[in-house]
């Protein structure tokens, strides 16, 4: 289609494609190159130990890796219930007239800066969860298993709940659209068999389960990478017992965010933080690859 004359100018635009491609390559290669010193020195040791002692140049960040996986998984579970539930509510119970308002509100929720969620999580959500969830459960004797809440309520659990609140609008919107897109003839077939509404809804969810899975996988990888909000509510304490979700701890992203001001004061801390970022990146990347293989095609 393009005439010969014009091609020369048009092709200049490819330079900008190269800029974009190079920046992706740059991000990945910097991550790898800058973590090489500590990989060379310690191998996988930082991934499997929890000793973080910069003055002795020891950087085991298993506590943060575990914290990331625990908070993201817990957030995923909460968000699964919330997003499926609210998507069903939207498709089945919200009157047509109210839908645009609800939809706009959910989309708006997804566009609020995460650091604002973080401030609210720190000042409102964490104390609330401490008084109404963690303290009562601790009083019942669960603190031996789930850990002792901190005075401010900052904890793995607070981070998980906050993450769930943050990713739900997005996850719910995917499920909602797919639920509304279930073909009418499928719904008619189900209702014509005398199925009741709950039964039809469960079957519809089964019908779109790949989309639900996809939404949840994206939500998980976002929860893994989310930084500002998590760093504000997770407590930023070295805590190898990351299954004690009432207690404060670190995730990888919050470790990086919290340590950056003094990283350059040590020899290996900057490489260690890059290594941690690489590990987190690998987790998110693995989820995305699985998604490409098993998720629905977008």
Partner 1 sequence: MRLVDARALKSLALTAAVVLAFALSVLPVAHLMATVVYRGAAAIARNFPSILFDIPAAPGSRELGGIGPHILGTALLTSIAFAVGVPISLLAAVFTAEAIRSWERIVGRWTRLLVHMMVEFPTIVIGIAVYGAMSSVAPLVRALVPGFRPFSLLSGVVALVLVSAPYMYLQVEDGLKSVPQHVREAIYSLGASRLLTSLVLLRYLKSTVYAALSVGLARMVSETAALFFTAFGSDVYPPLDANLLFRPIGSLTLAVYTLGLSGYENWIELSWAASLVLLLLCLTLFGFSRLLLRGERLGYRSPR
Partner 2 sequence: MGIAVHVEDLWVSIGGRDILKGVNLKVPRNVVFAVMGPSGSGKSTLLRSINRILDLYEGVSVRGNVVVEGVDVYDSRTDPSMVRRLVGMVFQIPNPIPNLSIYDNVALGPKINKLVKSRRELDELVRWALEKAYLWEEVKDRLEQPASKLSGGQQQRLCIARALAMRPRVLMLDEPTSNLDTVATSEIEGLIVELKRDVTVLLVTHNPFQASRVADYVAFMYDGQIVEVGPTGQVFTRPAHKLTEKYITGRFG
**CA angle, corner 128, sides to 127 and 134, nearest 5?**
85
Task: Please report, to the nearest 10 degrees, the dihedral formed by the alpha carbons of residues 78, 81, 83, 86 taken in order.
Answer: -130
The residues in 125-184 that bind partner 1, with binding defined as CB under 8 A, are 125, 165, 168-169, 172
Q: Which does 160 bind (CB under 5 to 8 A by kind): partner 2, partner 1, none?
A: none
Write phi, then psi, for 100 (nearest 5 degrees): -60, -40
**Tokens, residue 88:** 């069903």
Per CB under 8 A, 20 contacts partner 1: yes
Q: Which is nearer to partner 1, 84 or 208 (CB)?
A: 84
The Cα-based distances of 213 to 90, 165, 199, 291, 296 in angstroms read: 19, 18, 20, 9, 8
Measured distance CA(59)–CA(275) in Å, rounded: 10
Per CB under 8 A, 290 contacts partner 1: no
Q: Which does 187 bind (CB under 5 to 8 A by kind): partner 2, partner 1, none?
A: partner 2
C-alpha 161, offset from chain centre? 11
Q: Let me know if 273 is exposed, middle or buried by CB neighbors in 10 A (0-12, 13-18, 19+).
A: buried
Write phi, then psi, for 242 (nearest 5 degrees): -75, 0
Helix (H, G, I), strand (E, B) or coil at 177: helix
Per CB under 8 A, 225 contacts partner 1: yes
Tell me the closest approach of the beta carbon of residue 14 to partner 1, in angstroms: 5
Measured distance CA(37)–CA(267) in Å, rounded: 10
Q: Which does 191 bind (CB under 5 to 8 A by kind): partner 1, partner 2, none?
A: partner 2
Per CB under 8 A, 192 contacts partner 1: no
Tell me the closest approach of the beta carbon of residue 135 to partner 2, in angstroms: 44
- Cα dihedral 227, 232, 238, 244 sign: negative
Q: Which is nearer to partner 1, 131 or 145 (CB)?
A: 131
Q: Which does 293 bind (CB under 5 to 8 A by kind): partner 1, partner 2, none?
A: none
Q: Which is nearer to partner 1, 241 or 263 (CB)?
A: 263
Tell me the closest approach of the beta carbon of residue 64 to partner 2, in angstroms: 40
Tell me the closest approach of the beta carbon of residue 190 to partner 2, in angstroms: 7
Q: Which does 206 bind (CB under 5 to 8 A by kind): partner 2, partner 1, none?
A: partner 2
The residues in 80-99 that bind partner 1, with binding defined as CB under 8 A, are 81-86, 88-90, 92-94
Q: Which does 193 bind (CB under 5 to 8 A by kind): partner 2, partner 1, none?
A: partner 2
**Tokens, residue 6:** 């014009």
**What is the DSSP-derived secondary structure letter of residue 297?**
-
Q: Which is nearer to partner 1, 143 or 268 (CB)?
A: 268
Q: Which does 188 bind (CB under 5 to 8 A by kind): partner 1, partner 2, none?
A: partner 2
DSSP 23-40: HHHHHHHHHHHHHHHHHH
Of these, 39, 65, 122, 219, which contacts partner 1 (CB under 8 A)? Answer: 122
Residues that bind partner 2 (CB under 8 A): 96, 183-196, 199, 203, 206-207
């Amino acid at each position: 289609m393009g005439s010969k004359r014009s091609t020369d100018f048009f092709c200049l635009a490819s330079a900008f494609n190269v800029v974009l491609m190079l920046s992706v390559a740059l991000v990945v290669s910097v991550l790898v190159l800058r973590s090489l010193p500590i990989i060379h020195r310690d191998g996988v040791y930082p991934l499997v130990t929890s000793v973080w002692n910069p003055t002795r140049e020891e950087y085991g960040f298993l506590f943060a890796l575990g914290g990331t996986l625990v908070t993201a998984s817990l957030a995923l579970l909460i968000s699964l219930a919330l997003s499926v539930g609210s998507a069903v509510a939207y498709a089945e119970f919200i009157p047509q007239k109210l839908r645009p308002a609800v939809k706009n509100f959910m989309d708006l929720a997804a566009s609020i800066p995460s650091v604002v969620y973080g401030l609210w999580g720190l000042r409102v959500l964490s104390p609330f969860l401490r008084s109404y969830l963690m303290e009562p459960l601790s009083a019942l004797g669960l603190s031996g298993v789930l850990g002792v809440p901190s005075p401010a309520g900052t904890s793995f659990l607070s981070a998980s709940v906050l993450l769930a609140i943050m990713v739900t609008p997005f996850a719910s919107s995917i499920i909602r659209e797919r639920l509304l897109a279930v073909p009418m003839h499928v719904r008619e077939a189900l209702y014509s068999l005398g199925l009741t509404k709950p039964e039809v809804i469960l079957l519809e969810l089964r019908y779109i389960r790949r989309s639900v899975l996809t939404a949840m996988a994206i939500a998980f990888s976002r929860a893994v990478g989310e930084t500002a909000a998590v760093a504000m509510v997770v407590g930023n304490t070295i805590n190898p017992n990351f299954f004690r979700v009432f207690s404060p701890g670190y995730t990888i992203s919050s470790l990086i965010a919290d340590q950056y001001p003094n990283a350059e004061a040590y020899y290996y801390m900057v490489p260690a933080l890059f290594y941690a970022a690489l590990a987190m990146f690998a987790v998110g990347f693995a989820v995305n690859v699985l998604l490409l293989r098993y998720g629905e095609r977008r």
